[in-house]
A and B are shown apart, each in its own frame.
Chain A
Amino acid sequence: MTGGTQRGTGSPRTAAVVLAGFPLQLAMHDHPRWAGSIVALADGDGPLAPLVCLNERARRAGLRVGMPAGTARELFPAAQLDVLDPDALVRSHDALTEALGLFSPRIAPEAERSGAWLLDPEGLEKIYGGYDVWAKAVWSYLRGRRLEATVIVGFHRDRALALARAGRPGARVLDSAGAERALAAEVPLRALALSSLGAGAGAGSGAGSDPGARASTGGKGGARSGAGLCAKVVDALAMLGVHTLGDLLALPPGELSARFGPEVAAFYLRFSEGPQLPIQPQAFAEPVEACFPIDPPDAEVTRLLFAIKGALHPLLRQLHARGEHLRVLHVGLTLASDSRELSTVLLHLRDAASDPSGDVKGAAPRVRVGRPFSGQGDAGRHAARGAEAALAQRRSPVNAADAADAVAEAEVEVEAAIVRLRVEPAEATLDARTLVDLLYLQLERTTLDGPVAEVWLGAEGERRRLSQETMPLAAEPPAARAEARAGGRARELPRRDLRAASETLARVRAAYGLRSVTRAVLRDAHLPEAGFEWEPVVDVTAAVATRAVCAQPSQVGAEVSRALGPSQTMPIMRRVFPRPLPLAGSAGAPPRLPPSYGTGGREGDVRRLYGPYRISGGWWRRTVRRDYYYAETERGVLVWLYYDRPRRRWFLQGELD
């Protein structure tokens, strides 16, 4: 492979971008301190969850993909084990897809969560000054975000992808289709095995596997539509002396299909000399957004809302023309403190980004024109300096990579400095009044460090849905209510409107934050604080109330419940503190409760203690051993506490109320 500039080869170009060990790279990106440690990702939380991604150090230490996380923890207590989050993986993949769209308008993710993309660089070499500069710009852009990528500009989509998977991080341009064919023939099949996809086959980052790729494979097949062979097929071929792609392509296709199945034959055909499918680029929706200045800058909420309302109507009309309703309204507020300084920088950057003369070559992605490019306080000023430096470097074609890094850093700082609001109505709407009302609530709880100089609005729409019918929850009284009526204690039952409830919850979210309206979801865990999670909720659902029996009743409780019936019994509720309260006392002495449990301002004394009940959990991540007790104070208050053995200390978990 060479890195020269190629012109006039005639054949259309295709580029492949691969982030080897994509989930692992994201984990390392989130935890920079893990560098140099044994790092592994497990497919779930628990001691039996299999490891799915390993770094090179973990591989050298003897860890293997598929090994239980608990075993890995026992072998290497200092190893950094984390749980793979598929949702975060998808979000990151989508964000990178959007970011790579800065380099080519035609981009196709190879598969969901795979960390591999196909880009069409045709024509862009004239802007960047060559395919090698373009490829290096892509690589630099990703490197600026601490991601190690392999960028191959070739001629055949699957061969380029295979070379990117097997290659080391960097940017390379292939001279000719023949050279590409020859290089692809040397790619080991093991690098294309499904268990190695995205991992660079250990050549680059040394990571183990790509669960995204694995998850996206279906059935028992030996290959999938992208590029990859089942590990069993690779082993079987290796026993026949077929180790590389060239070895495989030398086999007769018909015989291959008969012996290994049609999917392996399809894999064979993708690399053969037949016509290849063009890239199916992902469609990018034109953003619906508006940006306008506030002149003179103003901090008065009512006037700001009035200005925003005026700009909202054109946005809503655009959405209406698309047949959509507004689902989310993003608001960016640029404060006046840095606006003068930043506006100059913004002007230069916009000019540079739109300059077709070619004096800005190679280095940087396009600056998002129309977005607020300013910040507040020191962060904004720092971002301005970074952007200016980036601009200066961009005009010098000497150090394109550094310029791209500087631009990326400046972008990150600017993004962090913008005051952003997110307005989410209960359901998609075109009603400006509703949106302004919700925005008003958000502005109430937002502290602005200065007057607003510029406002940016961005709208996310969704296809119009049939309006929800009002659901009269209490139209048909349930049995219990019918009984109450019969008992003469019934009240006049109003109809409950679920839509009104959803609208109210949207107001609460706007006023107190997106995670302020939740529902509880129970988790299967030993520790009390891990036994549930709060999940954001948008709509109110009708209750399906059943009289459940206590999940873990005491022996007496179970008998009482059976004898009296569930309607006359009730488990005692516990109230837990958000963080267990440390108490005075040692293992040989009882704990001393806070003064609120005592009398006369003294610490509370424990009179009786029920327990202990030992709970151990999370040992595959960190050692937890607790002895739980119920304690009764002199005042008759029942509290729930535990003795933490590793820490040798008492903690108050909660109280019974």
Chain B
Amino acid sequence: MSHDIWVWVAAFLTLSILSFLYKDNPFYKFAEYLLIGVALGYGIAVTWHSTIIPKIVIPLKEGHQYHLIIPMCIGLLFWARLFPKYAWLSRWPIAFQIGAGVGIGLPLILQADVFKQIQGTILTSAILNNPFNAFSAIVAFVGVVSTLIYFYFSLEHKGVVGGIAKIGIWYIMIAFGAIFGYTVMARMSLLIGRFQFLLHDWLGLMR
């Protein structure tokens, strides 16, 4: 069993949250509200040390980067949201962030999520040379096309289109099955992690 008081604190809080499985109770509620508070407090301190000091105070005081005063003024307008009368001013920094973000991101998202993905689907002679690779590539090609057609609602799903869309459903079911299987895995892993802590770090029962 651990002799570290902090491990006992962690174990108590872990058990408080697990107690919710029996029913909602004050221990769980205490832990829930404490978590919100600690997370916010953590955020404030980290922002202070990691962001406000190095990104605002040091560049102005030591780096003499006075051009940063302009984005600071724009950023300060975010705080207008705290005063209902002037809240509309907070739209300016949001507009700056969204506009620039879209301008930067749009071509990159199109390249990464659309063009590259289409490129990866196209059947080339190099892929088709090997029978197994060719089979796999055709499976993927059919899957991409049929899934796209399944989600294309501007055409009625009848005849050939309906047939292809049906193939799409089977592909989607395979993908959902994979997601389901992997979700079970993920959730159980989280559980395993907490029991590992209780049995090893706290109780010292594991070798």
- Are A and B associated in one complex? no
Binding site for B on A (CB under 8 A): none
Task: Give chain B's interface residues, CB within 8 Å of chain A.
Answer: none
